Amino acid sequence: MKFIDSHIKKHLTNFINSSENNFDEIFALLPTENKEIYIELLKYVNRLLDENDKIQQDDFVFFHIHFEQDLDDEFVNILSQFLVLKYHLMSLQDSTKLEDDFNEILLSKRNEIRQKIIRLSRAPDDASGARGNRIYKRWLKEKKYCEMLSSFYNSFDEKTVIEPINLFNTKLSTAKILLENFAEFPYLTDLENENNDLTFNRCNPNLSLHQVDKLHSNFIDNCEKIFLIDCERKKNLKTFSFNELKSWKKENGLPIKQMVLFSFGKSKINIENIRTKLKRLKDIFKIPESSTYVVLNSEINKLLRVSNNHFRKISFFGADENVFWDTLQLECSIRDLYELKSNKLLNIYGLCINEEIKDFIIDDLFSEHEYSKLISAETKFQIMEMTEKDLKEFKETFVNFLDSLIDMKFADIINNHLNTKKTLILPNLFVENEYLSKLLLHDLKSENIQGIVTWKSVQSCNVQNFLILSFQDQGKRPFYFYPNLLEFYINHHFYARGAFVKFLWLNQFNWSKYNLANDFRKIIEHPIRNTYFDIVQLKKQISSIKPEKTISIDWEFESRYSHNLNRSVIKVKFQKISRSKTYPYSSLFIVRANENSELRVLSGDELQNYDLNEEIIEVQSLDDILEETNIFEKFAETKNLEEELKIIRKKFDVHESETGRLWKILLKRKCIKSSESDIYKELTAFLDSKGSKMVSFKHFDESWTNPESEAFAPLSKKAFLGVCEYLDLGTPYYIIIQRLRNSSKQATRQSTHQMTLLLCDLFNDGCFDDLTKTTEVLRNRLSKYQQTHSLQDIGIDQDNLLVNLKSLVDIVNDEIKLKIISKIEIVSNE
C-alpha cells in the first residue's frame, strides 16, 4: 500500500539515525566483504534490538523481527555475525567484575597461549620458508592464530567473568559460516565443542531444548538470551518455545531474560503470505501478542537502495450510478441469485462492448438449455424455475442493463489505453472461449495487443506492459485471491494500467484499498512502531479512506463461483508408495506433525512450510474422505430417517402404498381437492408473504405436484421452508429431507463446501485431538458453530447440536488413515 509505505518511510530515517549505540564498533569488526550493502538494514535491526531492551518490562520477553522479503543467505549470514558481535560486546560491558580476585580461568588461558607463542617463536628444523613447504605453512598459520588469540584475550579486563550466556540457534549452513568466520577470534563457539575457549556466545544448529538441558545443563542454567535465526523448519530448534522456557524459568529459576526470533517471508510478497507465515511461527514458538515487528518490503528496498520503477494505475470510467444495474441487483437479491451479481459475472458484463457479446450473454442465461458457459447448474435451474411473467421481466431488466453498458462506448476507452503495445489481462472466459474473445477483440486495436492472459497466468509472463480489464481484489479471509489489483507484482520494472466501469467496481475497489490498508496496519502494529512511527496518524489516514457506501459481498460464494481457476496441482509422494498422488491446488489436508496428538487442516501451500528432512508429517486429503466415504449418508443414518419419515407420513394419513416425497403427495392432494391453478395462486401468495418467489406453473405441475419426480426439494432454502410451513410439515421434516438429499447423489456442491468448512473448524479447534475431551471442546464452541455455519443446510438439527456434532466427529474420525509424506511439490499445469 503506497500511502502506508510513504508514511513509514517518512519516519524510518529519523528512527535509524537517532540511535545512540556502538554500531560503528560492531560493524567494523564484521569479517565480511559485502557488509556495506547491508549497513542501513543492519542499523535498523540494531536500533530495534536496543529499543526492545528499553521497553522490556517483564522479566522474560519474546521479541520477533520478521522481514517481509525472503532475503538471501548472504544477509542471513551477515546478520548472524552482527548479532554475535553485538551481544559479545554487550555481555562484556555487562559482565560481572571480581572485586578481590582475578579471573583465574582467563589468566590460565592467557598463559596457555603465551606458552604456545614461545614454543612457536622458532620454525621447526624441517620447515623451509624459501620453498614454502607444508610444515612451514602449518607453523606460520598456527603462530598467527595464537598471536590473534593472545590479542583477543588480552583485551579483556583480568577481573572480568567470561562465561557463555547467549545461545544462537541457526541452520546448519549458517552455523558453519559463523564458526568459520569466528575461527580466529572466538566471539562464538559451537555448543558441542569441548574446547575450553572463553566466550559469551554459543552456537547450536542441531540440539533440541531438552537435549541442550541434558547434555549441557551448566550452560542452560546460566543462559540469559536465546536467538532463533531463520530456523523454523528445523525440527529440534522448534522446541525452543516461549511457553516451555517460561515454564522452566518459573519452575527452575533459570536466569533467561530474552528470546529473539528472526524470520523471513516468501518470494511472493502479499498480505496472505505474511499472515500465514506469522500464524505458523506463532503456533511453533508460542509467540505472545504484540511481540512481532514486521520489517516491510518497502523499508528493505529503501535501505538496500533497490530502485522500484514499476508503475500501476487503476482508473474508472462512466457514471457513478446506473438505474438499470441497481434494478438488476435488487432483482438478484430478491430471487436469491447471487451468482448473477458475483465478481465473475460482473467482469463479463463490464466487457459487454457490442451487441454480439450482449446476445451471447442473454442467450446463455435465458435459453432453455440446461448447460451454461457462464453460470453454475444451480443458478441456471433457478432461472428456469421462474414463472413465464417473472422470466420475461427479468430478461428485460438484463437487456436494458447490457444496453446501457454498450452505450458507454467502453471500447473507445480501452482503445485509448492501447496507444502502445500491451498485454491484456482478461476474465478467464474471454481467454478460454475463442468465439467470445473474437467478439471482444473485433472492436479493439488488435495491432497493439501483444497477447491475452488471465490473472493466473500473468505471473509467468515475460512482458512488461499490461492493460488490466479483469477486476480481482484480494477478497476477505479465509477467501483470498492472488494475484490481485492491489498486490500485482511482476518485477521492479513493469507497467500496468487498469480500466473499469465505475458504477460496477469503484466502491468495491475503495473498500478493497481500505481493508488491505487496515489489515496491514494491524500486522505492523507494535509498541516500537506506535512510539516512533506515529501509528495514531496512520490510523486516521486509513479511516479517512473508508467508503461511506456499504457493499454486500458473500466471499464464500465468490470463492465457489470464481472462474479464476488455479491450474497448478499438488503432487504428494508418500513413504512406501512408489507413485506420487496428484491433488487439485485447492485441496485441504488433515495433518499431524511429528507424531503428536494434534490434527489440523492445512492447504497444500502451507504443507510446503515443513522440512520433510527434519520432520515426520502425516497427511490425508479431506476431499478424499468426503468423496470416497459418504459422510452425509453415515451421519444421516438413512434407516433411522426413513423411520422418522414413516411417523410423519402416518400423521398425515399417507399409506406406504403411496410412493414419493411427502410434501409432493400433500400438494397433489390439495390440487385434487381444489385445482392446480387455485393451489398455485394460493401457494404463490403464501411464499410471497414470506419473501420467497414461486416457480413457474409448468415446473409446479411437472415437479412439485408429481410425487414420482426426481427432485428431493426446491433448490431455494427459503422456498422449501415456506412450502413446509404451508403444508404444516414443520422444520424437522425440512432437516430430514436435507439429510437425505445430502446423502444421495443429489448432494449439492454448496452442502459439500459447507461440510468442508465445518470440518476445518472442528479439526483446527482441537475436536479430533483427544476424543475423550471432544464434548468439552464442542460445548465451549457451540455458539461459534451456530453463528458461522449453515447447519440446517447440511442436515444438522440445532436442537441437538452437541450430540450431532459429536456424532459427526466420531464418524469422520473412523475414516482417518494418515500416511507419512516424503515429498510435496506444487506443479503448474499451464
Q: What pLDDT score was predicted for residue 568?
A: 63
pLDDT band at 795 (very low <50, low <70, confident <90, very high): low
Lowest-pLDDT range of 4-8, 40-44, 472-476, 649-653: 649-653
Spatial separation of the C-alpha atoms in residues 388 and 760, rounded to whole Å: 42
Count the neighbouring beta carbons within 10 Å of the beta carbon of residue 414.
20
Lowest-pLDDT range of 194-198, 219-223, 333-337, 377-381: 194-198
Q: What pLDDT score was predicted for residue 564?
A: 45
Q: What pLDDT score was predicted for residue 451?
A: 92
Q: What are phi and psi of 709, to 5 degrees?
A: -70, 155
Instruction: For Cα atoms 477, 479, 480, give the angle at the middle one, nearest 5 degrees.
Output: 85
Lowest-pLDDT range of 421-435, 737-751, 783-797: 737-751
Burial 446-476 (b: 16+ CB within 10 A, else e): eebeeebbbbbbbeeeeeeebbbbbbbbbbb
Count the neighbouring beta carbons within 10 Å of the beta carbon of residue 372.
17
Instruction: For Cα atoms 161, 84, 221, give the angle at the middle one, nearest 5 degrees.
Output: 50
Per the model's pLDDT, the better-predicted residue between 761 and 659 turns out to be 761
Phi-psi region of 590 (alpha: psi -120 to 50; beta: other; left: phi over 0): beta
Q: What pLDDT score was predicted for residue 788?
A: 84
**112-130 average pLDDT score:** 74
Q: What pLDDT score was predicted for residue 325?
A: 95
Query: Is it the case that residue 519 has pLDDT exceeding 60?
Result: yes
With a pLDDT cut of 70, the percent of the chain lying above it is 90
**545-557 average pLDDT score:** 87
Short-list 614, 617, 616, CA closest to 235: 614
CATH, domain 2-95+162-303, list 1.20.59, 3.40.50, 3.40.1350, 1.10.3470: 3.40.50
Which CA distances in Å does 460 have to 472, 483, 566? Answer: 18, 12, 13
Query: Is it the case that residue 633 has pLDDT exceeding 70?
Result: no
Query: Is it the case that residue 830 has pLDDT exceeding 50?
Result: no
Q: What pLDDT score was predicted for residue 741?
A: 65
Short-list 73, 70, 260, 39, CA closest to 176: 73
pLDDT digits (tens, 9 = 90+) for 438-491: 999 999 998 999 999 998 888 777 788 999 999 999 988 777 888 899 998 776
Per the model's pLDDT, the better-predicted residue between 741 and 771 turns out to be 771
**541-555 average pLDDT score:** 91
Cβ 382 vs Cβ 716: under 8 Å? yes
Helix (H, G, I), strand (E, B) or coil at 97: strand
The average confidence (pLDDT) of the chain is 86
Short-list 230, 191, 231, CA closest to 212: 191
Per the model's pLDDT, the better-predicted residue between 86 and 138 turns out to be 86
- Residues ≥6 apart with Cβ < 8 Å to 92: 156, 160, 162, 200
Say which residue the cell 488491505 belongs to: 516
Query: Is it the case that residue 288 has pLDDT exceeding 80?
Result: yes
pLDDT band at 705 (very low <50, low <70, confident <90, very high): confident
Burial 31-51 (b: 16+ CB within 10 A, else e): eeeebeebebbbbbbbbbbbb
- Highest-confidence segment of 118-127, 373-382, 443-452: 443-452
- Residues ≥6 apart with Cβ < 8 Å to 253: none
Q: Please spell the DSSP secondary structure of 424-443, one letter per residue.
A: EE--HHHHH-HHHHHHHHTT
Count the neighbouring beta carbons within 10 Å of the beta carbon of residue 187.
21
pLDDT band at 757 (very low <50, low <70, confident <90, very high): confident
Query: Is it the case that residue 566 has pLDDT exceeding 90?
Result: no
Query: Is it the case that residue 722 has pLDDT exceeding 70?
Result: yes
pLDDT digits (tens, 9 = 90+) for 645-674: 778 888 888 776 666 688 888 889 999 998
Element (H, E) at 382: helix 377-384
Which CA distances in Å does 582 have to 219, 560, 567, 568? Answer: 48, 21, 13, 10
Residue 160 DSSP one-character state? B
Which CA distances in Å does 202 have to 26, 50, 163, 189, 385? Answer: 18, 21, 10, 5, 74
Cβ 122 vs Cβ 96: under 8 Å? no
Which CA distances in Å does 676 have to 281, 654, 671, 672, 729? Answer: 64, 20, 5, 8, 20
With a pLDDT cut of 90, the percent of the chain lying above it is 44
Spatial separation of the C-alpha atoms in residues 753 and 488, rounded to whole Å: 29
- Highest-confidence segment of 144-153, 156-165, 203-212, 480-489: 203-212
Q: What pLDDT score was predicted for residue 698?
A: 79
Task: At 600, list the grid cell.
Answer: 489440523
pLDDT band at 818 (very low <50, low <70, confident <90, very high): very high
Q: What pLDDT score was predicted for residue 376?
A: 86
Spatial separation of the C-alpha atoms in residues 225 and 201, rounded to whole Å: 10
Q: What pLDDT score was predicted for residue 309?
A: 67
AA letter at 399: V
Short-list 473, 484, 479, 553, CA closest to 514: 473
Query: Is it the case that residue 617 has pLDDT exceeding 50?
Result: yes
Q: What pLDDT score was predicted for residue 457?
A: 84
Q: Please spell the DSSP secondary structure of 782-809, one letter per residue.
A: HHHHHHHS-TGGGT--GGGHHHHHHHHH
Per the model's pLDDT, the better-predicted residue between 560 and 375 turns out to be 375
**739-766 average pLDDT score:** 74
Cβ 163 vs Cβ 200: under 8 Å? yes
Q: What pLDDT score was predicted for residue 703?
A: 81
pLDDT band at 634 (very low <50, low <70, confident <90, very high): low
Say which residue the cell 506443479 belongs to: 827
Q: What pLDDT score was predicted for residue 746?
A: 43
pLDDT band at 533 (very low <50, low <70, confident <90, very high): very high
CA trace torsion 558, 559, 563, 564 (10° rounding): 120
Strands across the sheet containing 581-584: 581-584, 568-574, 819-828, 617-621, 588-593, 600-603
Q: What pLDDT score was predicted for residue 21?
A: 74
pLDDT band at 563 (very low <50, low <70, confident <90, very high): very low
**97-104 average pLDDT score:** 62
Q: What pLDDT score was predicted for residue 197?
A: 65
Say which residue the cell 623451509 belongs to: 128
Per the model's pLDDT, the better-predicted residue between 795 and 801 turns out to be 801
Helix (H, G, I), strand (E, B) or coil at 498: strand
**70-80 average pLDDT score:** 95
Query: Is it the case that residue 410 has pLDDT exceeding 70?
Result: yes
- Highest-confidence segment of 288-297, 607-616, 664-673, 692-701: 288-297
Q: What pLDDT score was predicted for residue 110?
A: 72
Query: Is it the case that residue 311 has pLDDT exceeding 90?
Result: no
Cβ 758 vs Cβ 629: under 8 Å? no
